[in-house]
Homo-oligomer: A and B are copies of this chain.
Amino acid sequence: MTTSQLADLANQVQSYGTSGLREQKRAVVRQALSRAALDLALQRGLERVLVPDIAARAGVSPRTFNNYFASKEEAVVAPAFDRIARILAAFRERSSAEPLWTSITEAIVSQFRPGDSEGGNALRHARLISDSPALWVEQLRAYAAIEVLLADAIAQRLGVATDEDLFPRLVAAMAISASRVAFEHWLSGDRDETFTTMLSRALDQVGGAFPAQPGHRAR
């Protein structure tokens, strides 16, 4: 993965920067487009949703759609990128005194606790994504994005450089992969246990590989 790519992916993570009228409107339109795409996809299946449909439902011109998203898939998966921002924020707020893996685990798990936010819609959303190859690939990009950003945050906390030490990337990859596996497993199973439980278990199981504190040894 190249520098340019990192930038591309990172830029999709909501910046929530200035709060001028302009940026505010832009955020509204973006969310409207994303919601429109999701709603339509949920009721018809994404293949039967055309970009102009989405634009129309969001009250905007078709051409405008592509000023926000490069594809309808990107629009549907956009909320995942938002969650990334929240996970990162949660991680950064954790004390550096606590074991690294604990910080990571808690940061991730905390973003799923609020009880399947937004009603059962979240579950349908998840199923939609994992059932559509195109959406699922788009989701992979989200995982890749958070992996890189999380690695940066970890490196920052440990005071090492990501391009010299592969430890941060490794730890981030393990955390994200474990989350992804837990998620997919939970989605496909009978789910006699909650997602957060399964998530925690997967993370715990993987966490044993890594030393609790900076005294790691990767190059």
Sort A-B residue pairs by CB-CB distance and give the 4 closest, nearest first: A209-B209, A173-B177, A177-B177, A208-B209
Q: Please pick, from B131, B137, B177, the residue contacting A2 in the complex, using a CB distance under 8 A.
A: B131
The answer to the question of A141 belonging to the interface, with a C-beta cut-off of 8 Å to chain B, is yes
In the complex, A120 Cα to B170 Cα: how many Å? 27
| A152-193 with Cβ < 8 A to chain B | 163, 166-167, 169-170, 173-174, 176-178, 180-182, 184-185, 188-189
Q: Which of A2, A137, A202 has the most CB of B within 10 A?
A: A2
Summarize A's interface: helix, strand, loop or mixed: helix
Q: How far is the CB of A74 from chain B (nearest CB, A)?
A: 11
**What are 6 inter-chain pairs, A to B, with CB distance below 8 A?**
A4-B131, A140-B144, A166-B202, A177-B177, A201-B218, A207-B209
The answer to the question of A130 belonging to the interface, with a C-beta cut-off of 8 Å to chain B, is yes
Q: Assess whether B137 is in contact with A188, with CB atoms less than 8 Å apart.
A: no
Q: How far is the CB of A55 from chain B (nearest CB, A)?
A: 24
Q: Please pick, from B5, B131, B170, B202, the residue contacting A170 in the complex, using a CB distance under 8 A.
A: B202
- Nearest to A5 among chain B residues (CB) is B133
Q: Please pick, from B8, B180, B218, the residue contacting A205 in the complex, using a CB distance under 8 A.
A: B218
Contacts of A173 on B, CB cut-off 8 Å?
A: 177-178, 180-181
The answer to the question of A1 belonging to the interface, with a C-beta cut-off of 8 Å to chain B, is yes
The answer to the question of A69 belonging to the interface, with a C-beta cut-off of 8 Å to chain B, is no
Contacts of A206 on B, CB cut-off 8 Å?
A: 170, 174, 209
- Residue-by-residue, is A16-53 near B (CB-CB < 8 Å gives 1, otherwise 0)? 00000000000000000000000000000000000000
Given A140-B144, A163-B189, check contact A130 B1 (CB 8 Å): yes
In the complex, A144 Cα to B144 Cα: how many Å? 12
Q: How far is the CB of A40 from chain B (nearest CB, A)?
A: 20
Q: How far is the CB of A186 from chain B (nearest CB, A)?
A: 9
